[in-house]
Chain A
Amino acid sequence: MGFVSNLVNGISLGAVYAIIALGYTMVYGIAKMLNFAHGDIIMVGGYLCFCSISYLGLNPFVSVLVSIVGCTVLGIVIERLAYKPLREAPSLDVLITAIGVSYLLQNTALLIWGSNPKSFPNLFKSLGNIRLFDGQLVISSTAIVTIATNIVIMLALTWFTSKTRMGKAMRACSEDKGAAQLMGINVNSTISLTFAIGSGLAAVAGVLLCSAYPTLMPTTGSMPGIKAFVAAVLGGIGSIPGAMVGGILLGVAEIFAKAYIGTQFSDAIVFALLIVVLLIKPTGILGKPISEKV
């Protein structure tokens, strides 16, 4: 049963990584930038939800909504103020700006909420855990909600990008911005929309992450952010199903490494997995091969 329970935990953690990785991958696909501040949006999402529940006494579901709306707005504002003026700038300059935004978010959070960790309430306690095989296998309600949310998001995004006008515009922009513009697509608002969706997803991920690992600090988003970035590259950056595959794979690998090899080396194993995959398939599991025209 240990194996199954580890597997469920791995998939659950992976589902969170996958949701964060979606934000990375969509933004990368469309704006060709590594948005290092993405991990910190998760942290902001966690704090917004925490404050709505603890200080405003709101119902958990309303709090999650507040968190999603807050992060979406934050994502749009960051994009407009910091990234939009740099559309034509060298990619490294955009990267440094993203790092600046990341520092800004972390330190603002530090000023507002302090460095002491906040203990995040379990939002899904009322749902109850599932006990199977006479209590030998316990699946936490958080894990179930996380995996279910992930499936819903995956389906919704697939539908959105393939069936709706805006989703198609998004795919067109990630393929060729110039051509998309000539076809009458508003590239700027499409990029804003991508940031909005990515940030909203980060809020969801923040709430799920904090429910599973209930310590909330200004640096909470950093490591999951980096891991989700790794997951996005693992699956093939720019690819939505790739982010899912990469995220789940990474989560399972991490939990298995912790369970069977040792907690202290789990990070090394997770990162080694990325390296091995990239050496076999240099553009990630589901990434499109890049070929330069000569």
Chain B
Amino acid sequence: MPRIPFIGRKIEDTKMVEYPSDAIIPERDLGKVPVLECRHLGIDFGGLHAVSEFNLTIGQTEIAGLIGPNGAGKTTVFNLLTKVYQPTYGTILLAGKDTAGMTTDQVNKAGIARTFQNIRLFDTLTVEENVMIGLHNEIGCGMWSSIFRLPTHFSAERRFHERAMELLDFFDLEAFASAPAGSLPYGAQRRLEIVRALATNPKLLLLDEPAAGMNPAETAELTANIRKIRDEFNIAILLIEHDMSLVMEICEGIAVLNYGTIIAKGTPEEIQNNPDVIEAYLGKSQGKDEGPASPEADDHGPEAAPAAAAPKEA
């Protein structure tokens, strides 16, 4: 994983987008417009800098990780990227395009899809309908042609059904297609959220703690699935995760967040050996050799002093 050699190097089809000096981009994505670039991104909640000076660049097919102690502001970053919160400072460029002034739904149309830490499905609707709603902007059909059942309605519905079943098939959910989403087992609900997000045909998929509450077998399956998504859909993925073995296994670049700022960026190996990261997770005095790569270093591990004092995630 090469670092970009010098500041402001212009790459041919970047359309004026420059890789910052500290960006880590997989080799295969070099020379292409980064899918996401955050510059000086930040938000204040009543005087509190929940996130500040957040700079991150993600390549077009990169799997990137965002880690950090509880309350570091990770989910807030996702909320900024998807405009659930409007940033107080900074710029978000999505495939070179500024997302300033966009609303959440417009950001999705522009290419960011996400899942939620606490699952948010359309519980009373069926699994298939959940995916169809994800396909909303992919397949068009006006209200009037639906009400009067014009031919466009039927052809649209057929495409909705076919595409939804295709996606469900991809994640082994087709058996649940007509079950209410709220009735699914936990693991299937998490998978369905990913399918629904993918249905919107994103350029960048944000996964908020996808492995939370999963057993090792399920986590292994998830790891394979995340790789499969990247390879099949050819998109970038940014994930928040506390399961360090998962993060270290699949992420190509990792950013560590503490107190709302990035304290380290690098490859998994670099992050594992970074003294600042170890300190953030374990506190100053009790640094362990293993660093955050050890399984105890997740949120249920020793409540490190900086983590406990970290500002609450709003």
A residues sitting closer than 8 Å to B (CB atoms) are: 291, 293-294
Contacts and interface: CB of A to CB of B under 8 A. Distances in A.
Interface in B282-314: 314
Interface string B52-75: 000000000000000000000001
Contacts of B116: 294
Nearest to A292: B84
B206 to A, nearest CB: 12
A174 B79 CA distance: 29
A238 to B, nearest CB: 21
Interface string B108-139: 00000000100000000000000000000000
A293 B117 CA distance: 11
Contacts of A294: 75, 79, 84, 116
B78 to A, nearest CB: 8
A170 B116 CA distance: 34
A253 B305 CA distance: 56
Contacts of B75: 294
6 contacts: A291-B314, A293-B314, A294-B75, A294-B79, A294-B84, A294-B116
Contacts of A293: 314
B83 to A, nearest CB: 11
A164 B116 CA distance: 42
Nearest to B76: A294
Contacts of A291: 314
A291 B79 CA distance: 13
A293 B116 CA distance: 11
B51 to A, nearest CB: 14
Nearest to B116: A294
Contacts of B314: 291, 293
B46 to A, nearest CB: 11
A294 B75 CA distance: 8
Interface in B68-108: 75, 79, 84
Nearest to B208: A294
Contacts of B79: 294
B121 to A, nearest CB: 15
A293 B84 CA distance: 10
Closest 3 CB pairs of A and B: A294-B84, A294-B79, A294-B116
A293 B312 CA distance: 12
A93 B116 CA distance: 30
A102 to B, nearest CB: 30
A288 to B, nearest CB: 13
A274 B86 CA distance: 28
A150 B148 CA distance: 58
A291 B76 CA distance: 14
Nearest to A293: B314
A294 B116 CA distance: 8
Contacts of B84: 294
Nearest to B117: A294
B124 to A, nearest CB: 12
A294 B114 CA distance: 12
A291 B314 CA distance: 9
B77 to A, nearest CB: 12
A196 to B, nearest CB: 37
B123 to A, nearest CB: 14
B204 to A, nearest CB: 18
A129 B314 CA distance: 56
A294 B84 CA distance: 8
A130 to B, nearest CB: 47
